[in-house]
Chain A
């Protein structure tokens, strides 16, 4: 039994890792996540509270979705650490652990202040992970990344402060009525982190600039913590159905146009999180269970896909589809693990996507939300198109790039095989996952039966005919050396350009005016009213004696006092 947030095992452990070297470092990097996993299941059922200023913070509080998210976050930290075991960056892994531990801290938060503190700690950890990609592009991308998250953080903090002022309470409550500016601010703050368009472009902008192992960590925590917090505060908010559907489609469109394989996978994170956000918007127990289960499965197969892509980057140094192809010749394990990840993200029967994601579509159908259901179904087909086939096809098959790199080092292979195994295990035996979902089935009943004849046949039809569309349209899908402009264009090009080409020239034109105001105006005042010049100057100058000067001063004083009187903050309340 532990009486502190289990995420702190990772956070504090990560900070202590700086004293370790060699095998002690490696042992710590594998044991800390496992210790955290133990901690997640060892906290008491009753909340642990600590006093803070005038408030009581519930730093350990089991919410319905806490355990499923905290469990996968711990597992993810373990798998990511295994994948990163052979790399020699000293800061990336501890930063990733601070990031993961803070995400776990969010899932245990029983009040808004605790939630916000861990939320902001995640931004610090993840920014350092982005910077650990090294190089100028990673530095700049990290800067943009942290700026976006600071803006999101301030919005969320403003919302929380306003909410606490309104209600006097820091408790986590459902805010789905969206009846105050405070709740809107909180919602927008969360949606920025979730990657919802138009604010989601930070994700494909920053993540692919991290290292091979860095992006594996990044893919898991920020967006899924947002899903957790949305589920906690905004379950059943109708707006989220549309936001989620838009995210699902947006991710596909941009992924289809993308050439960088890790950016393809970054866009598909937004697509997948769209399903979860949609589920949270629907808000029934089945939809919320589906969103949580999908988050669990998604973290595993997305990490697996990024491990596969990361292995390719690690062995070849290349990341563009135009430079890759035909790697099946020499990287069979990476290829097979990539394919298992690709089938899982596409929700093929016998993989984890099939037993989890379909819960959300089924919930939409049960609620007779036809539009949502049609969009989600189209998006399911589109997932197979942009991630399920496109990623493995252009990297491992298509044309022969002539590259013959071997599979990556043993620890990277092991991490991939571990996660590929989990994908298949959850596909054939999802019951252990179903049991820890937010709303477990009543005793003796099944929570969800994914495997019905109609469901299997329908899903296979959807996916294989999407595959047919891919191969029929292959000439149109040919890779090009292009990127697609996204919302980040506004802060990377539009506003800097506006400043450079409009703001700055305008200021330069106005420079004489500015100079006159700060130097010329006082000088002419002195020339007019000053004692020496006034006496010595010729006729035509205004001659002021003591009396008029005092009058002038009194005039200013009156103006000042009047203005002060009109200051609204001095008006007594009531």
Chain B
């Protein structure tokens, strides 16, 4: 099966989401050693990772990119 196949893509999504769910559930099993309090909340790494990544992408693309993006021929003389 080619990876471009929509079926393969759907299968990959299902597998991926299953992994995410299992990881979240594993959070209940492992023993935590929080240092700050905030890192002791359920699934901290999960939502912190997701949230900061969304923030970084949106911030880069919409804010930094807005001011500093140029055509890639900008420096060509």
Contact = CB atoms under 8 A, between A and B. Distances in A.
B14 interface: no
B53 A382 contact: yes
B61 A466 contact: no
Given A457-B27, A483-B72, A381 B60 contact: no
Interface residues of A, number: 54
B61 A461 contact: no
Interface string B52-71: 11101111110011001111
Interface string B1-38: 00110000000000010011001101101111101100
Contact of A453 (B31, B57, B70): B31
A459 interface: yes
Most chain A CB within a 10 A radius of its CB, from B32, B48, B52, B58: B52
Nearest to B20: A464
A385 B45 contact: no
Contacts of B72: 259-260, 320, 481-483
Contacts of B70: 482-485
B32 A454 contact: yes
Contacts, number: 142
Contact of B75 (A320, A457, A492): A492
B51 to A, nearest CB: 8
A378 B75 CA distance: 33
Given A378-B48, A382-B53, A385-B53, A368 B36 contact: yes
Interface string A311-339: 00000000010000010100000000000
Nearest to A381: B49
Nearest to A397: B3
Interface in A222-271: 249, 252-254, 256-257, 259-260
Interface string A118-158: 00000000000000000000000000000000000000000
A458 interface: yes
A382 B57 CA distance: 9
B49 A462 contact: yes
A424 to B, nearest CB: 21
A465 B36 contact: no
B25 to A, nearest CB: 10
Given A256-B56, A381-B48, A484-B64, A461 B24 contact: yes
A469 B69 contact: no
Interface string A448-464: 00001110011111111
B15 to A, nearest CB: 11
Interface of A: 249, 252-254, 256-257, 259-260, 320, 326, 328, 365-366, 368, 370, 373, 377-378, 381-382, 385, 397, 400, 452-454, 457-473, 476-477, 480-486, 492-493
30 contacts: A253-B59, A256-B57, A257-B64, A259-B72, A260-B72, A326-B4, A365-B36, A368-B35, A370-B36, A373-B35, A373-B36, A377-B49, A378-B52, A385-B56, A453-B30, A461-B45, A461-B46, A464-B19, A468-B16, A468-B50, A470-B53, A472-B54, A473-B57, A482-B72, A483-B72, A483-B75, A484-B64, A484-B70, A485-B68, A492-B75
